[in-house]
Amino acid sequence: MAVVNLVVTPLRRRNCLLVLAFVVFIPFCFFVLFSVPDVSSEQMLIQRLAELQVKLQYLDTMYRSRQEDLQQLTAHIDQMVAPSDSNASLGALSPFGGAAPATTKPEIRQLLRNMSGMNAAHGLNPPIMLRLPSSFHFLPHLLDDPASLRLAYLMSKGRTGVSVVLGVPTVRREKHTYLMETLQSLVDGMSMDEREDALIVIFVAETDLEYVLLVAKEIELRFPSQVDSGLIEVVSPSVSYYPDMDKLRSTLGDPLERVRWRSKQNLDFAFLMSYCQPKGTFYVQLEDDILAKPYYISEMKKFALDKTANKEPWFVLDFCQLGFIGKMFKSAELPWLIQFFQMFYNDKPVDWLLDDLIYTKICNWEKNKDFYKRDKAKLWIHYKPSLFQHIGTHSSLKGKVQKLKDKQFGKVALFFPHTNPEADIISGIKCYKLYSLKRAYLGEAFFWGLLPQPGDQLIFKFKTPIHIKRFFFRSGNVEHPSDKFYNTSVEVMPAESNLYVNSLNLTADGYIVVGKFDSVGIATGNPNENIGRVSALRLYVHSESDNWAILSEIHIQDEYSVAR
Ligand SMILES: *[C@@H]1O[C@H](CO)[C@@H](O)[C@H](O)[C@H]1NC(C)=O
Ligand SMILES: *[C@@H]1O[C@H](CO)[C@@H](O)[C@H](O)[C@H]1NC(C)=O
Ligand SMILES: *[C@@H]1O[C@H](CO)[C@@H](O)[C@H](O)[C@H]1NC(C)=O
Ligand SMILES: *[C@@H]1O[C@H](CO)[C@@H](O)[C@H](O)[C@H]1NC(C)=O
C-alpha cells in the first residue's frame, strides 16, 4: 500500500503539473521581459501565447494518458492488497473484508450499526471496479493476437514535440503511385525552419512486408537527408490489426468490395492518428496523391493560432475542399475521432463519420438543416485558397477514377524552362495541339506526344558539336503524372571517333547510350568526358506505351552553360 501511495499521492500529481507549467512558461516570461513591445511584436506575442496554450493542452493529454496507466495499475494493486488489510471491527459487518475505511463519517457508522443483520448493511465499498469499454470492445479481433497493436515496421528517428504532424496513408495501387511526387512536394514546400518543426509520417497500410520494405527503401533513396534528420518516418501495421475483411457486414447497400475498402480506410486512419497523436501539437490528415503550396506549414499554423488567440473554438480546420485531405485537428482532440472511427468503421465512409461526429457535437435535432450548416461552420472552418490539390487520376479503389480537382487551389507550374544549346529539333512522335518539342526545347511550353511506339526518336541536332557536361529530362507533369517516358534511353552521337569511343558498344546507327528514364520519369547524367564532342542527342523509345508522353523539363548543359 505504501508503495502505491508514494506514486499516486495527489500532491505528487500537482507537482508534476506545476513542473510542466514552469517548463513551458518560464521561457515565455523571459521572452516577454526582454522583447521591446511595439505593434508587430504584440501581434507576435498573441500568436506565441496561443501557441503555448495549444501546446499545454497537448502536454496535458500526454500527462493524462500516463495517469490513466497509473490508475489502472493502482486499482490492480489495491485489489491484491485489500483482503489482508481488513479492519476487525467493521469486518464483521462486511463480507467484502473491512470495506468501510477509516474516513467513513460517524453518521454512516451509526447507521450501519443500526442496520446490523440486514443484507443492506453489506453493500459498502465492494471490491468491484467498473469496466469501461475500450477499443477492444469495438475491435474484438485485436484480442486474438497479443501482437495485434504492435507495429510491423517502423523507420523513425523518434522525433516528437513538433508543431505539425502530417499523416500520409498510402496503399498499393494497381496503376501509378504518386507517393514520391507527394513527398517531394511536401518537402519542397517547407522552409528550413519548418523542416525542423514538422514530422511527415508515411503509413504504409499494407501487410505484405516485402512491399513495405520496398517503399521504405525507395523513400530513403529519394530523401536520405530528410530520413536522417527524422523529418520523414515510415510505419506499417501488423497483419492482426485488421479483422477478417471477408466477414464484414454489408452496409449502406454498397457492394462488398466497397465496404471492405472504406472499412479498411477507417481502421487505417484510426491507426495513423493513434500513432501520430503523441508526436506534435497539431495533426493534418493528407493523402498519397497530393501537391502542397509553398509555405503551407506556416499558413496552417498561423491560421490555427489566430483562431485560438481570438478564442474561436474549432474542431476541424479545412485546408482543402476535397474528401479527407488537408484537415487539421488538435492532437489533444484526436481521441474523439479515433474512438468514433473504431465504433463505426464498418458502417460508414470516413468522411461521413467526420460529418456525423460534428453533427453530434454541436447540432440541435429540433432545428432545421440551415441551422445545422451554420452550427457546423463554427467548428469546421474552411481556409481559402486551398493549400492542397490532387495529382492523381486513379483512386486506390480499383476502377474508381478520381478526377476531382480542388478549384480553390489555383495554378501550378506545368513545365520548367531552360536555355539550351542551339539545335535542330526532330520529333518522331506526333504532338498534341501546340505542345511541340521545339517549343519545349526553347522553354515556351511542355512537349506532349501521342502514344510513343518502339523505335520512336526525339532528336536534338546541335548546330555545332558540343561537350555535354550534364543532361536533365523530366517527363510527366503534375496534372498528368502518368504521361511519362517509359523504357526510353538517352543516347549521344560522337562527333569524331577516338580510342575510347571505339572501345564502346555503339547502337547499330552509331549512338552511345548515356542514360535512361527512371521509374519517376526522370533521365539525368553526366556523360563520360572521353566521349568528346557530340553532334546530336536523342531519346529512343524501346517499348509501346499506354500513355501519352510529356516532357516538362529539358536541360542540356555544355561547358559554357555550366560556366554561366
Ligand atoms: C479498525 O478501525 C478502527 C476505527 O477506525 C481502529 O481504531 C482500529 O485500529 C482498526 N483496526 C485495524 C486492525 O486496522
Ligand atoms: C434504528 O432503526 C430503527 C428502525 O428503523 C429506528 O426505529 C430507530 O430509531 C433507529 N435508531 C437509531 C439510533 O437511529
Ligand atoms: C559490349 O557487348 C559485349 C557483348 O554483349 C559485352 O561482353 C561487353 O562487356 C560490352 N562492352 C562494353 C564496354 O559495354
Ligand atoms: C524495354 O524494351 C525492350 C525492347 O522491346 C524489351 O526487351 C525490354 O523488356 C523492355 N524493358 C522494360 C523494363 O519494359
Query: Do residue 228 and residue 317 come from a single domain?
Result: yes
| From 500, 503, 505, 513, mutation site for ligand 3 pocket: most ligand atoms within 8 A of C-beta | 505
3-state secondary structure 106-123: HHHHHHHHHCCCCHHHHC
Instruction: Provide block-wise average pLDDT over 10 residues at a time, the chain (564 residues).
Output: 41 54 54 54 85 86 81 76 50 50 80 89 85 89 93 96 96 83 92 95 97 96 96 97 94 91 97 97 94 92 93 93 91 96 96 92 79 86 89 48 58 84 93 91 93 93 95 89 92 92 91 93 94 96 89 92 58
Which is the closest atom of ligand 1 to the Cα of 89? 1
* Full domain range(s) for residue 341: 138-390
Domain boundary, last residue among 75, 96, 122:
122
Q: What is the CATH number of the domain that holds 275?
A: 3.90.550
Contact yes or no for 455/449 (Cβ under 8 A)? no
Q: Report if residue 171 sits inside a domain.
A: yes
Q: Report if residue 272 sits inside a domain.
A: yes
Partners of 318 in beta bridges: 327, 382
Torsion of CA 244, 249, 254, 259, to 10 degrees: -30
Query: Do residue 172 and residue 300 come from a single domain?
Result: yes
Q: Report if residue 522 sits inside a domain.
A: yes
For 30, 167, 288, 378, 427, the CA distances from 183, given in Å and listed in that order, are 38, 11, 8, 32, 33
Q: Report if residue 405 sits inside a domain.
A: no
Query: Do residue 236 and residue 338 come from a single domain?
Result: yes
Contact yes or no for 561/421 (Cβ under 8 A)? yes
CA–CA separation, 472 and 466 (whole Å): 16
Query: Do residue 366 and residue 433 come from a single domain?
Result: no
Tell me if 119 CB under 6 Å of ligand 3. no
Which numbered ligand comes closest to the C-alpha of 97? 1
CA–CA separation, 123 and 119 (whole Å): 8
Closest protein CA for atom 4 of ligand 1 = 102
- A 10 A CB-CB count for 82 gives 16
User: Count of domains in the chain?
Assistant: 3
**CA-closest candidate to residue 380, choices 461, 434, 321:** 321
CA–CA separation, 496 and 466 (whole Å): 11
**CA-closest candidate to residue 361, choices 344, 380, 384, 382:** 380
CA–CA separation, 253 and 197 (whole Å): 44
pLDDT digits (tens, 9 = 90+) for 6-61: 344 444 555 555 555 555 555 554 554 454 446 678 888 888 888 888 888 888 88
Grid coordinates of 415: 513545365
Q: What is the CATH number of the domain that holds 473?
A: 2.60.120.260
Sign (positive or negative) of CA dihedral 190, 291, 161, 318: positive
The Å distance, Cα 183 to ligand 1 centre, comes to 67
Using CB distances shorter than 6 Å, the residues near ligand 4 are 454, 487, 542-543
Query: Do residue 145 and residue 109 come from a single domain?
Result: no
Query: Do residue 370 and residue 288 come from a single domain?
Result: yes
Q: Report if residue 128 sits inside a domain.
A: no
Contact yes or no for 161/374 (Cβ under 8 A)? no
- Distance separating the N- and C-terminal Cα atoms of the chain: 78
Query: Do residue 188 and residue 253 come from a single domain?
Result: yes
Query: Do residue 194 and residue 339 come from a single domain?
Result: yes
Which is the closest atom of ligand 4 to the Cα of 542? 2
Q: Report if residue 336 sits inside a domain.
A: yes
Tell me if 118 CB under 6 Å of ligand 3. no
Q: Report if residue 127 sits inside a domain.
A: no
**Helix spans in 393-545 (H):** 437-441, 499-502
Contacts of 212 (CB under 8 A, 6+ apart): 152, 153, 204, 206, 234, 236
Domain boundary, last residue among 390, 412, 439:
390
Query: Do residue 438 and residue 543 come from a single domain?
Result: yes
The Å distance, Cα 216 to ligand 4 centre, comes to 26
**CA-closest candidate to residue 204, choices 137, 309, 96, 288:** 288
pLDDT digits (tens, 9 = 90+) for 174-209: 767 889 989 999 998 999 999 999 999 999 999 999
The Å distance, Cα 87 to ligand 1 centre, comes to 6
Query: Do residue 154 and residue 302 come from a single domain?
Result: yes
Query: Do residue 96 and residue 192 come from a single domain?
Result: no
Domain boundary, last residue among 67, 90, 122:
122
Which numbered ligand comes closest to the C-alpha of 114? 2
Tell me if 504 CB under 6 Å of ligand 3. yes
Which numbered ligand comes closest to the C-alpha of 121? 2
Partners of 525 in beta bridges: 471
Give the pLDDT confidence score for residue 89 in this predicted structure: 44
The Å distance, Cα 77 to ligand 1 centre, comes to 21
What is the bridge-based pairing of β-strands 488-494 and 468-475?
unpaired
For 142, 206, 252, 334, 345, the CA distances from 255, given in Å and listed in that order, are 25, 22, 9, 30, 16
Closest protein CA for atom 12 of ligand 1 = 87
Contacts of 1 (CB under 8 A, 6+ apart): 81, 85
Give the pLDDT confidence score for residue 45 in this predicted structure: 86
Q: Report if residue 404 sits inside a domain.
A: no
Query: Do residue 171 and residue 36 come from a single domain?
Result: no
Report the predicted TM-score, pTM, of the whole model to 2 decimal places. Answer: 0.65
The Å distance, Cα 8 to ligand 1 centre, comes to 24
